[in-house]
């Protein structure tokens, strides 16, 4: 395989790694926003998940315990959001801002109290991390020319959490469009009065949507600190929650389209270091800042209606008043 194709393949491979937390957070955002609750707290939940996963994995030596603890912690954050916005009908954006700040503060404070390393957690080894797993039949497929390489480099060799993220997308689609819960969840984000008059609790539905979102963000956080990275560093979510939110909008609040957006944003991110110093014909070198800003630029253009028109859930942002 020529060098260019190999490079491209490796970039796609990196894309999947970068896009994993985006996919999980985007699905979380879809569940929450489809139920009518604005979720800019994806960022804070991701950060909380990342910290708790690394801390628990470091203390117990088990990545799996870290993962479950991260899910629980992130769901707790979701419940704070729910308590404020569903039970007490508070402003959903304000609550999201609060949760993001709480996450920034509490991860560092607890990190210092537990590990005395300026907010970082110790490096994780062995079972305390999720490692790449080799899918079966890699050796067998190696004999097949092109497919063998693609299978070995791109499809095989990711962390289990990446496969969970890839699975989360069709699962989200299935739940939203093929189950009673999903139908009701979508309805509650469009016309909550109708759901209420059918005798179904708007409150409980929205809480469940937030719980699902919390769990997904927890997995995404665990991926950041115990799979992609080998410890927690302060502010390690670094805006990924907001990019995931952009992907939700870009995907028009639909799982499969949001996946495409995550892969696009992930690809831009993965391609950035590879393009540094590369001169293009006519345009020359692309500044890496422009590449990193691309997801935000694209989302603003989309929101402005220059590339299609997003249609958010009708009842989004409004607390439900009986």
Partner 1 sequence: MSATPPLPRWADLVLLPLINLAAAFLVCGLIVLAIGEDPIKALQVMINGAFVYPGSLGYTLYYTTNFIFTGLAVAVAFHAQMFNIGGEGQAYVGGLGAALVGLFVAPYLPSIVAIPLAVGAAALFGAAWAFIPGYLQAKRDSHIVITTIMFNFLAGALMVWLLAGPLIQPGQQSPQSSEIAASSFLPTLQGMMGNFGVKVANSPLNMSFGIALLAMLVFYILIWKTRLGYNIRAVGKNQQAARYAGINVPRVIIITLAISGGFAGLMATNEILGVNHRAVLNFTAGYGFTGIAVALMGRNHPIGIFLASLLFGALYQGGAELDFEFKSITREMVLLIQGMIILFSGALAHMFNPPLARFLAKVLPGKGDQDV
Q: Which residues bind partner 1 (CB under 8 A)?
A: 38, 40, 80, 83-85, 88-91, 93-95, 97-106, 108-110, 112-113, 116, 119, 239, 242, 245-246, 249, 287, 289-290, 292-293, 296-297, 299-300, 303-305, 312
Which of 75, 246 has the CB closer to partner 1?
246
CA distance 265 to 201: 37
Query: DSSP alpha helices (H): ranges in the chain?
Result: 3-34, 42-60, 63-82, 92-115, 138-141, 145-150, 160-178, 180-190, 192-197, 202-223, 240-250, 255-275, 288-303
Which of 148, 239 has the CB closer to partner 1?
239
Which of 110, 156 has the CB closer to partner 1?
110
Residue 155 burial (C-beta neighbours within 10 Å; 0-12, 13-18, 19+): middle
Cβ–Cβ under 8 Å, residues 21 and 244: yes
Q: How far is the CB of 160 from partner 1 (least distance, A)?
A: 31
Which of 132, 309 has the CB closer to partner 1?
309
Which of 198, 304 has the CB closer to partner 1?
304
Q: How far is the CB of 109 from partner 1 (least distance, A)?
A: 5
- SS3 annotation, 180-249: HHHHHHHHHHHCHHHHHHCCCCHHHHHHHHHHHHHHHHHHHHHHHHHHHCCCCCCCCCCCHHHHHHHHHH
Q: How far is the CB of 274 from partner 1 (least distance, A)?
A: 19
Which of 168, 233 has the CB closer to partner 1?
233
Q: How far is the CB of 321 from partner 1 (least distance, A)?
A: 9
Nearest to 154 by CA among 260, 12, 274, 270: 12
Q: How far is CA 178 from CA 131, 181, 204, 290, in A?
A: 33, 9, 20, 40
Which of 150, 315 has the CB closer to partner 1?
315
Q: How far is the CB of 301 from partner 1 (least distance, A)?
A: 10
CA distance 46 to 32: 14
Q: How far is the CB of 298 from partner 1 (least distance, A)?
A: 9
Q: How far is the CB of 254 from partner 1 (least distance, A)?
A: 17
């Amino acid at each position: 395989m020529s060098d260019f194709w190999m490079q491209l393949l490796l970039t796609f491979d990196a894309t999947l790694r970068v896009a994993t937390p985006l996919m999980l957070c985007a699905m979380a955002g879809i569940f929450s926003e489809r139920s009518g609750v604005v979720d800019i707290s994806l960022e804070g939940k991701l950060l909380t998940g990342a910290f708790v996963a690394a801390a628990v994995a470091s203390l117990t030596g088990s990545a799996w315990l870290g993962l479950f603890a991260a899910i629980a912690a992130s769901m707790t954050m979701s419940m704070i959001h729910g308590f404020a916005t569903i039970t007490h009908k508070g402003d959903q954006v304000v609550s999201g801002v609060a949760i993001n700040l709480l996450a920034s503060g509490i991860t560092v404070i607890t990190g210092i109290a537990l590990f005395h390393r300026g907010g970082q957690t110790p490096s994780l080894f062995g079972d305390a991390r999720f490692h790449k797993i080799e899918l079966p039949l890699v050796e067998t497929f190696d004999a097949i020319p092109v497919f063998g390489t693609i299978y070995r480099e791109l499809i095989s060799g990711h962390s289990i959490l990446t496969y969970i993220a890839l699975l989360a997308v069709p699962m989200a689609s299935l739940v939203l469009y093929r189950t009673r819960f999903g139908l009701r969840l979508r309805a509650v984000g469009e016309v909550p009065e109708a759901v209420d008059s059918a005798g179904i609790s708007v409150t409980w539905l929205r809480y469940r949507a937030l719980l699902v979102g919390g769990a997904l963000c927890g997995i995404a956080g665990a991926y950041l600190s115990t799979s992609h990275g080998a410890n927690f560093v302060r502010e390690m979510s670094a805006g990924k929650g907001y990019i995931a939110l952009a992907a939700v909008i870009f995907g028009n609040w639909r799982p499969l389209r949001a996946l495409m957006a995550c892969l696009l944003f992930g690809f831009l991110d993965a391609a950035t270091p590879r393009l540094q110093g590369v001169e293009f014909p006519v345009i020359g070198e692309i500044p890496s800042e422009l590449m990193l800003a691309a997801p935000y630029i694209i989302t603003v253009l989309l929101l402005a209606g220059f590339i299609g028109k997003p249609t958010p859930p009708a009842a989004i942002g409004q607390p439900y008043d009986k």
